Structure 1
Amino acid sequence: MDFQMYQQMMEVEDKHWWFVARRSIIEEVIRKLNLPADAEIFEAGCGTGGNLAMLSRHGQVYAMELNEAARTFASDLQLGEIQPGFLPNDIPFADKKFDLIVLLDVLEHVEEDTASLQALSAKLKPSGWLLITVPAYPWLWSKHDDLLHHKRRYMLHNLRQIVGDTGYHVHFVSYFNFVLFPLIAGVRLVQGLFNKGGNEQSMPPKLVNQMLTFLFGIERYLIGRLFLPFGVSLLLLAQRNELTEEPIASLVATSAY
């Protein structure tokens, strides 16, 4: 992404409805993993560090970020060890293996998504987890995707197959940002018709932001309990293929979707 986008991200990701609600959903999933008290967590592509405080509540955080400006923002938070790196060929912390690796809206930026997932599998401990979020539905492509330099948007079956084919056992995959999907999809389709749209990281009015945070955030009580049949994004949870242990109980009901 461009420096201006990283600068804006740093300014809004602690209060913008999308960042705040998404973090609450992701944290709810992480809580259910029962990670060890001394868990080591790796964020591949941490951006300006908006997830580091949340992740640090669950273990020791390590992260990589290719963009120097974003990496500086993240390092200044002093919430983990941040090093330069990129997927799939330059993953730092060569002597480390992790209990949890997260790619939070990162995989869609990477040219080689399959090779990147394969490379990350070597960085997981035998009982380690992989948690991914990505944007959903190619037909939802908008100028916002162009602005963020996305390479693709994913379908549920496509993401599950890619992860399954690269050495993981997929325990759970679901759409999310389900509640607001009709509104967001409608806006993007209309914008596409008129060649409008663009930066969706701009802060809306305070009351609107609070309402959107609440509506999106409701899904932290739904994901893993109910199958969400569509949504603006996808969330996937996986482990290494050689593991035979059962998935966490609260996600068993939806792991087949």
Structure 2
Amino acid sequence: MRPGTLLRWHALKHILKSEISEIEDGSSIFDIGSYDGEISYNLKRIFQNLEFVIVDIDKSGLQLAAEKGLDTLYTSALNLPVKDNKVDFILCLDLIEHVKEDNALIKEISRVLKKHGKVILTTPMQNGVSFPFLSRKKSKTINKNWGHVRKGYSLENIVKLFRNNDLMIVKISKYFNFFSRLVYRFNHLPRIPLKGKGLLYRMIIRLEPYIKNGAEEHIIVCKKR
């Protein structure tokens, strides 16, 4: 599992399991912009009677998802080939900061989501993700290399974006705490042995659900009105 995806899984797994456990067998979950569907693959092993669909524009990622036995959909998240009010649950994890037309993305998510269906969205806070003991310039470069078209969002802006598209926030949390950002930074220090970096990283990110100090990413759970 890629480092960022592994971090996200440990940070979100309790929330994901809690929210998804409430939906009925046979329900559909769209995982939008997740590349290879690693998080959905982990969830599918727990919730075997749910339909997970990986939505992306990267064919190589979708091929990897298909090899895991996941359903895939090669399409833009801005134009989903799905009728209104058809999807039970949507994951939109660290995608919106990559999309210029952010309102169009949320509008499309709201369109295909069933009434009272839920969305879990993650995205950096308004100043983006910084890294301890790295200059602001270097941190900004890392964010750009991730493909972000904007730094992130204030909570106020997220609330407004969702409210304008018939989505009501029901739960707010955060992740990517100070310690996780510190060990993530080690990936940019070649003098530290790779094996040591990986072991330390895996140990620290397991604490994500319990330590929120200095977290710089939003976790938002929404429900369609």
Bin for the TM-score computed over the shorter chain: 0.7 to 0.9
Aligned mates of 2:6, 2:187 — CA distance in 1: 20
Residues 156-195 of structure 1 aligned to structure 2 (within 5 Å): 156-180=155-179, 183=182
Number of equivalences: 208
* Deviation readout 1:141-184 (Å, 9 max, x if unpaired): 52222222211122233223322222111012222112426737
Q: In the alignment, is residue 29 of structure 1 matched against residue 15 of structure 2?
A: yes
Identify the residue that residue 209 of structure 2 maps to in structure 1: 220
Identity of aligned residues (%): 18
Distance 1:67 1:204, change over 3 A: farther
User: Secondary structure of 1:219's partner?
Assistant: coil
Identify the residue that residue 45 of structure 1 maps to in structure 2: 33
Q: 2:67 aligns with which of 70, 76, 79?
A: 76
Paired AA for residue 149 in structure 1: G
Aligned mates of 1:174, 1:24 — CA distance in 2: 14
Give the deviation of 1:112 after TM superposition. 0.8
Give the deviation of 1:121 after TM superposition. 0.8
Give the deviation of 1:65 after TM superposition. 0.8
Residues 108-123 of structure 1 aligned to structure 2 (within 5 Å): 108-123=97-112
* Deviation readout 1:175-212 (Å, 9 max, x if unpaired): 21124267379x6xxxxxxxxx9979xx9733332332
Give the deviation of 1:99 after TM superposition. 2.0
Identify the residue that residue 5 of structure 1 maps to in structure 2: none
Structure 1: unaligned runs, 5 residues or longer: 1-11, 188-196, 223-227, 243-257
Aligned mates of 1:163, 1:184 — CA distance in 2: 33
User: Secondary structure of 1:36's partner?
Assistant: coil
Aligned mates of 1:24, 1:163 — CA distance in 2: 26
CA contact (8 A) 1:65 1:84 kept: yes
Give the deviation of 1:217 after TM superposition. 2.1
User: Secondary structure of 1:180's partner?
Assistant: helix
Give the deviation of 1:120 after TM superposition. 0.8
TM value normalised by structure 2 = 0.79
Aligned mates of 1:44, 1:26 — CA distance in 2: 16
Aligned mates of 1:101, 1:206 — CA distance in 2: 35
Q: 1:126 aligns with which of 103, 107, 115?
A: 115
**Aligned-residue CA RMSD in angstroms?**
2.9
Give the deviation of 1:134 after TM superposition. 1.1
Identify the residue that residue 63 of structure 1 maps to in structure 2: 54
Give the deviation of 1:132 after TM superposition. 0.4
TM value normalised by structure 1 = 0.70
CA contact (8 A) 1:48 1:73 kept: yes
Structure 2: unaligned runs, 5 residues or longer: 131-138
